[in-house]
């Protein structure tokens, strides 16, 4: 019985961890809803509602998806335990990861961590959270390095090879501080971009800090939301000399 493998995970957690892992595989291009439907025999509408958090799966359905995707039930337990441990540590140590990992990995695997960034105690203490409920299970803070080509539109705020710490629990367009624009990490296709962001009709407007660079627009797909394209708010910038 599948439930026997989850002594410390409730039914909602099982659904959410599986949903996040399937979304990660879809975003990386290794899976699609149509392929998963063929593998499991479920209808695409049924799976889409699950992936959009509109319904939960039964234990039998979870079992079929795990088998189809060659996943072990123990992997979901590992994700929950690792997330709980990282919640205790992440205010002082933050994993430095690639752009792809920052974009698509809900829980940062040890193999995906380049190194750890140690911050002074209290630097990231209890910052405000404003984001979708779907983001809450994600590991909150990650750091990534910004190469020269990506830093140029944000100079002199961000310099080449700077480290930025991203709060992935803050994917709302609400200002963090009144009167000051938020700086966001945004997903453009499979690319991570740093910009000031605001909403105009059904588009995200990406504004650079350096006015010599153009403003970009991203179309928001029907049925989607701006938060799906926003990786998170840039909480800290470290410009190394």
pLDDT at 126: 57
pLDDT tens digits in sequence order for the chain, 241 residues long = 343 444 456 777 778 888 888 887 786 677 888 999 999 999 999 998 888 878 888 888 888 998 998 887 777 666 655 555 555 455 578 999 999 999 998 888 888 999 999 888 767 765 677 877 777 788 889 999 999 999 999 999 999 999 999 999 998 888 888 888 999 999 988 899 999 999 888 889 999 999 999 999 988 887 778 888 899 999 999 997 6
Non-local (6+) Cβ contacts of 94 within 8 A are 116, 117, 119, 124, 141, 142, 143, 165
pLDDT at 77: 65
pLDDT at 7: 45
Query: What are the CA-CA distances from residue 37 to residues 33, 43, 45, 69, 214 (Å)?
Result: 6, 6, 9, 11, 41
The answer to whether residues 181 and 175 touch, using CB atoms and an 8 Å cutoff, is yes
pLDDT digits (tens, 9 = 90+) for 13-42: 778 888 888 887 786 677 888 999 999 999
Q: Which of 44, 36, 38, 46 is nearest to 66 (CA)?
A: 36
- The domains found in the chain, sorted by start residue, are 8-77 (1.10.260.40), 91-238 (2.10.109.10)
Query: What pTM value is reported for the model?
Result: 0.65
DSSP 206: E
Non-local (6+) Cβ contacts of 31 within 8 A are 22, 25, 69
% helix / strand / coil in the chain, to the nearest 5?
35, 25, 40
Percent of the chain clearing pLDDT 70 (strictly above) = 86
């Amino acid at each position: 019985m599948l439930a026997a493998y989850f002594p410390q995970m409730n039914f909602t957690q099982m659904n959410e961890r599986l949903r996040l892992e399937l979304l990660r595989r879809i975003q990386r291009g290794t899976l699609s809803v149509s392929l998963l439907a063929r593998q499991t025999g479920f209808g695409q509408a049924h799976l889409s509602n699950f992936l959009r958090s509109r319904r939960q799966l039964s234990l039998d359905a979870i079992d079929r998806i795990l088998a189809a995707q060659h996943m072990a039930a123990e992997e979901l337990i590992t994700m929950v335990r690792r997330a709980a441990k990282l919640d205790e540590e992440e205010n002082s140590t933050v994993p430095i990861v690639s752009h792809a990992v920052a974009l698509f990995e809900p829980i940062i695997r040890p193999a995906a961590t380049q190194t750890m960034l140690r911050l002074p105690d209290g630097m990231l203490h209890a910052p405000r959270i404003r984001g979708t409920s779907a983001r809450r299970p994600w590991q909150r803070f990650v750091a990534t390095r910004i190469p020269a080509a990506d830093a140029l539109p944000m100079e002199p705020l961000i310099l080449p090879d700077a480290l930025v710490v991203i709060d992935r629990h803050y994917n709302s367009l609400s200002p963090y501080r009144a009167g000051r624009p938020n700086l966001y990490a945004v997903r453009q296709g499979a690319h991570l971009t740093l910009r000031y962001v605001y909403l105009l009709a059904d588009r995200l407007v990406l504004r650079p800090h350096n006015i010599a660079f153009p403003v970009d627009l991203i179309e928001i797909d029907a049925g989607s939301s701006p938060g799906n394209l926003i990786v998170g708010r840039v909480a800290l910038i470290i410009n190394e000399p």
